[in-house]
Amino acid sequence: MNSKIYITRVIKELHEQFPSFNFKYQFDALDRSHVIEYSPFDLVEGDKDFENERVNIICDYIDMNFQESLLFINEFDSLGVPEPELELMGFMNVQPKNINPQLIASFEVPKNDLFECGSDNYALAA
């Protein structure tokens, strides 16, 4: 298997695991490097599962002895991916992983609890 096929397969697997993330891929022939851009930074940064997966991919890539380098960048990196060969766009996941939704139907909340701010009555003036 050549490195480009391997990287393409890995990016598709990443997108299946993290469907909210965007991925762009480009091979830089001048540097002989595979560049993978992930975004959005706010969603990806701090995601321990993604970080672990990224490290595993890099280790596997090194173990396969490919001649080109592998580079993960975020959307703010100056290098960027101006002409992606592969682009997988994420979609907003309304339910965070490992967390149950905390939505309560309005008819389940007692009417007296909806706007109660304590015993004081405050009025707003412009």
Q: What tokens were used for 125?
A: 């003036």
CATH numeric code, 3-95: 3.30.70
Give the pLDDT band (50/70/90) at residue 42: confident
Q: How many other C-beta atoms can be found within 10 angstroms of the C-beta atom of residue 69?
A: 14
Torsion, CA 43, CA 46, CA 49, CA 55, rounded to 10: 110
More confident residue, 93 or 60: 60
Q: How far apart are alpha carbons 12 and 19 in whole angstroms?
A: 10
Sign of CA dihedral 51, 20, 35, 62: positive
Give the domain ranges of the chain: 3-95
Provide the 3-class DSSP secondary structure of residue 9: helix
pLDDT at residue number 25: 95
pLDDT score at 112: 52
Helix, strand, coil percentages in the chain from 3-state DSSP, rounded to 5: 35, 20, 50
Res 70 pLDDT > 90: yes
User: What confidence score (pLDDT) does residue 95 get?
Assistant: 52
